[in-house]
Amino acid sequence: MKNAALRLATTLAPLALATALLSACAGKPPGCDDAAVATTIQGLVMDPALDALDLVKPFARDARSSYFVGKLYAKRNWRETDRPQIKALHQEALARYRDGISASLSGVTTDGYDSKARRHQCKATLRLQSKASGQTLEARGVVFTVQGTAKSGEFQVEAAGLDGFVTLVSKDATDYVIDAIAKGIPREPESGALPPTQVPGPGRPAEEEHGD
């Protein structure tokens, strides 16, 4: 397994906001360094990161999905008969990547707790470790809040400016999944290869969906 680290070492600008809900044990929300908070932020990153690898949604709908499609068809001139295997191998590899991710927060700091709003103001380094790819992906200076909601036993995590880190994770997942597909279909394709024009590459408009 690789022993590598990919880092996004920058103060993240508030380009995007994401919110998630998770059960809490008390009226006051958990602290900035709570493991449940790290798990929630993990979901805020992984959901959009892996959405780019969806084989059902249209091709090249955004930059991350374009990267996935471009890498897939740059890897090999796939045959039409490869489609069922590609789908099966894709699902297996994607599940391994998703299930093998763990998140942790370090260097956690807080700007205090607003008791009226029941909200922590937080900042930390977010680290995601992938058992599948062997990579450690890191985002420094992640700004987020942890706030209790009106519903008893729940809290909300809102993180700002994770878009660049989401892209980093999505590219790592793409590389892992495509390598797994290629290893699962090791022989070189023969006749009946899919014409490149059937599949839009990065930056080209979607003309079909990933599904049949």
What are the backbone dihedrals phi and psi of residue 145, each rounded to the nearest 5 degrees, phi first? -125, 150
Cβ atoms of 23 and 152 within 8 Å: the answer is no
CA distance linking residue 210 with residue 198, whole number of Å: 11
On the question of pLDDT at 91 being above 80, the answer is yes
Cβ atoms of 76 and 96 within 8 Å: the answer is no
Mean pLDDT of 124-149: 94
Closest by Cα among 129, 174, 145 to 30 = 145
Measured between alpha carbons, how far is residue 69 from residues 52, 106, 173, 178, 203 in Å? 9, 34, 13, 10, 10
Helix (H, G, I), strand (E, B) or coil at 90: helix
Highest mean pLDDT among 52-56, 81-85, 148-152, 178-182: 178-182
CA distance linking residue 77 with residue 75, whole number of Å: 7
CA distance linking residue 48 with residue 166, whole number of Å: 7
Cβ atoms of 154 and 23 within 8 Å: the answer is yes
CA distance linking residue 139 with residue 127, whole number of Å: 6
Mean pLDDT of 4-21: 37
Tell me the pTM.
0.76
Closest by Cα among 36, 38, 41 to 23 = 36
Confidence of residue 61 (pLDDT cuts 50, 70, 90): confident
On the question of pLDDT at 8 being above 60, the answer is no
Cβ atoms of 144 and 125 within 8 Å: the answer is no
Confidence of residue 33 (pLDDT cuts 50, 70, 90): very high
Angle ∠(174,175,177) on CA atoms, nearest 5: 65
CA distance linking residue 127 with residue 130, whole number of Å: 10
Contact residues for 17 (Cβ-Cβ < 8 A; gap 6+): 158, 159, 160
